[in-house]
Amino acid sequence: SFDMALSGILTEAEIAAGLQSCQVADSFDYKTFFVKVGLNSKSKDQLAKVFGILDQDRSGFIEEEELKLFLKNFSASARALTDAETKAFLAAGDSDGDGKIGVDGKAAFIKR
């Protein structure tokens, strides 16, 4: 399960804090979320692992469909992101405008 994979990197408390910060529809802010779960203080190596978990089809990119289900990687009971949240999240990480986030873009915008 995804939870197991992420639990080696994030604590239950970190994950809970992140999800708590965006329970209401359209309240998801990726910067707040990354800070709450402590992703902004992880090593490049750990971030690459997280990226790999989110990249469910192993394409080397995180597509819009995968971003929509972003929170579910942290908890099965989490909600899907709204279209507006997904688009804003995608725009933030999509460095070259191809409609998906590559590994480099991902690490860069987590740290921003």
The binding site comprises 55, 57, 59, 61, 66, 94, 96, 98, 100
Proportion of the chain in helix, strand, coil states, percent, rounded to 5: 60, 5, 35
Instruction: Supply φ then ψ for residue 37, to 5 degrees.
Output: -85, -5
Dist. CA 60–CA 77, nearest whole Å: 26
- The DSSP output letter for 16 is H
Annotated binding-site residue numbers for Ca(2+): 55, 57, 59, 61, 66, 94, 96, 98, 100
Residues 82/71, Cβ–Cβ less than 8 Å:
no
